[in-house]
A and B are shown apart, each in its own frame.
Chain A
Amino acid sequence: GQNIDQPTEMTATEGAIVQINCTYQTSGFNGLFWYQQHAGEAPTFLSYNVLDGLEEKGRFSSFLSRSKGYSYLLLKELQMKDSASYLCAVRDRNSWGKLQFGAGTQVVVTP
C-alpha cells in the first residue's frame, strides 16, 4: 500500500511563491500526479512525474525524487484564484486506474 503525506494548509501572499511538499511510500511506484481542487468543484490535473527531475508548466512546476519518495509542487507568481486544495496522488505499478491521494494541502492566497 501507500502512505502519502502533505501539509494541511499553507498561506502565502499574492505574487509570492509557495512550495507544497509530498512524501510517499509505495511498493511499486508508477507515477505521481498533482491535482488542484477548488471548493465545491472536481479536481483538475496539474502535472505528472514518473522520472526524477523537474517538470515545468507555466507558473506551476513539479519535482520528483524517486529514491527519496519525495515530490513538490511549486506555484509561482501566486494569484488569488490559486486559493484551492492541492492533491498529491501516486499510482502503483499494475494499478493503472487507481490513484492513491494524499489528504490535500489547502493553499490560501492573501492580498
Chain B
Amino acid sequence: KAGVTQTPRYLIKTRGQQVTLSCSPISGHRSVSWYQQTPGQGLQFLFEYFSETQRNKGNFPGRFSGRQFSNSRSEMNVSTLELGDSALYLCASSLVAGGRDEQFFGPGTRLTVL
C-alpha cells in the first residue's frame, strides 16, 4: 500500500510570490490534515479536510488556504509569501480521523522563501 506522497519535495520562492503544494493520501483515506513545522514553533496545525470540506482550521492568516478534491487529494496554497513562511509543510492522512485513527505523515515539502 503506497504511503502519503507530497509534491514537490523542495521549493524555493521569493517574497510576494505564491505557492501550491500537493498531497496524495493513502488510498481509502478521506481525511487530510496539513501542518507547518519550524525549529522555533514545532508542528503547528494548519487545516483539515474531510470529504472535500474543511472541517478544522488552525490559527494561520488567510494567506494560507487549501482544498480537497473528490479523490481525497489535497492542495494547500500560500499567497504573498513572507520570509517567515519558510518551513517544512507536512500533510497527514487518516481514514476518518476519529477514534484510534492514527495520522500517517507524508515526507513533507521543504519551502524556502528568499
Contacts and interface: CB of A to CB of B under 8 A. Distances in A.
The 7 closest A-B pairs by CB, nearest first: A97-B48, A96-B97, A97-B97, A42-B105, A101-B43, A45-B102, A98-B56
Given A97-B31, A97-B55, A43 B100 contact: no
A97 B56 contact: yes
Contacts, number: 64
A96 B105 contact: no
26 contacts: A31-B100, A33-B103, A35-B105, A42-B90, A42-B105, A42-B106, A42-B107, A43-B105, A44-B105, A45-B103, A48-B100, A48-B102, A50-B100, A87-B43, A89-B43, A96-B56, A96-B98, A96-B101, A97-B49, A97-B97, A98-B33, A98-B56, A99-B45, A101-B44, A104-B42, A104-B43
Contact of A99 (B99, B103, B106): B103
A94 B26 CA distance: 23
Interface band, chain B: 20 to 34
Interface string B49-66: 110000110100000000
Nearest to B56: A98
Interface of B: 4, 31-33, 35, 42-45, 48-50, 55-56, 58, 90, 94, 96-108
Main secondary structure of the interface of B (DSSP, over half): strand
A95 interface: yes
A97 B50 contact: yes
Interface of A: 31, 33, 35, 41-45, 48, 50, 87, 89, 95-104
A45 B99 CA distance: 14
Nearest to A49: B100
A97 B90 CA distance: 13
Contacts of B107: 41-42
